[in-house]
Amino acid sequence: MTINSIYNKMLVNRKEKKLTMKLDYTLLYKLFCSCYKNGFDLLVEAKLLYENERYTRAYTLAHLSFEELGKLPMINTYMYKVVHGSQYDVQHLMKRMRDHKEKIQVSHFTSDLFSNEDIDLTDNRKLNQYINEMNNMKNNSIYVGLNNGTISIPNDVVTKQKAEKMIEMSTMHATFHSHFSQLSEEELKKLHSDDLYKLLIR
């Protein structure tokens, strides 16, 4: 068997795997709960760092918590579709869960329900600019950068106020989903059966 034939076989197997991949409700429920727990744990650790005046890393973990919790509305949408027997692209779900900017956007929609921050979510240009700024800030809180001859150092970029704001946003997101994460699989499935629940899907 040649290298090309092996490679072609791998492509075929990969394509077939994509076509047949399916997630049942039980697995999605476990994924939902696991993402919530991990997002909550990241938030707890961010608060510990903040209390010990490690504001830069507190910001980083709070942002990672914000993104992890951003997966929940995505998973929730798929769970709703499964209950109602609707078609949904599994690969699209996986892609969204890996997309940092997508997770930031979904999380922002949730936290915006409780925030007084004046961000026009109907203005795509402003929203995309805001999401890009948040994603760049996350990266700047981790890595030393160089922009137009200026060195960017994480500890100089992240202030106490920025860390506090990021923790506040992630806390609002975690609080919103805390009730759903405590429901049993059957309780959550019953909730997904209600047509009114579709108002919460993203």
Question: In this predicted model, what pLDDT tens digit does every residue of 133-152 receive, in sequence order?
Answer: 999 999 999 999 998 899 99
Segment 115-126 shows an average pLDDT of 64
Residue-wise pLDDT for 67-112, tens only, equals: 999 999 999 989 998 998 887 788 888 999 998 888 888 887 766 6
Percent of the chain with pLDDT over 70: 79
Q: How many domains, in total, are found in the chain?
A: 1
Q: Which residues pair with 145 in a beta bridge?
A: 152
Higher pLDDT, 4 or 98: 98
Whole-angstrom distance, CA of residue 149 vs CA of residue 121: 34
Question: The tokens 């697995």 sit on which residue?
Answer: 27
Q: Is residue 112 part of a domain?
A: yes
Q: Is residue 135 part of a domain?
A: no
Q: Is residue 8 part of a domain?
A: no
Q: Is residue 40 part of a domain?
A: yes
Report the pLDDT value the prediction gives residue 118, as an integer from 0 to 100: 55
Q: Is residue 6 part of a domain?
A: no
Whole-angstrom distance, CA of residue 34 vs CA of residue 72: 10
Burial 130-156 (b: 16+ CB within 10 A, else e): bbeebbebbebbeeeeeeeeeeeebee
Query: What tokens appear for 175 in the block?
Result: 């609080």
Whole-angstrom distance, CA of residue 82 vs CA of residue 31: 14
Asked if residue 164 lies in contact with residue 63, where contact means CB atoms within 8 angstroms, the answer is no
Query: What tokens appear for 28 in the block?
Result: 């999605």
Segment 5-18 shows an average pLDDT of 52
Report the pLDDT value the prediction gives residue 16, as an integer from 0 to 100: 47
* Inter-CA distances, 84 with 77, 88, 171, 201, Å: 11, 11, 31, 13
Helices (H), the chain: 3-20, 25-51, 55-69, 71-83, 90-98, 100-111, 124-140, 154-157, 160-181, 185-192
Report the pLDDT value the prediction gives residue 119, as an integer from 0 to 100: 56
* Domain CATH code at residue 79: 1.20.120
Higher pLDDT, 23 or 98: 98
149: alpha, beta or left? (left if phi > 0; alpha if psi -120 to 50): left
Q: Is residue 149 part of a domain?
A: no
Q: Is residue 73 part of a domain?
A: yes
Q: Is residue 126 part of a domain?
A: no
Report the pLDDT value the prediction gives residue 65, as an integer from 0 to 100: 97
Judge if pTM exceeds 0.85.
Answer: no
**Could you list the residue range(s) of the whole structural domain that residue 80 is in?**
21-117+159-200
What's the pLDDT band for 121 if we cut at 50, 70, 90? Answer: low
Q: Which residues pair with 147 in a beta bridge?
A: 150
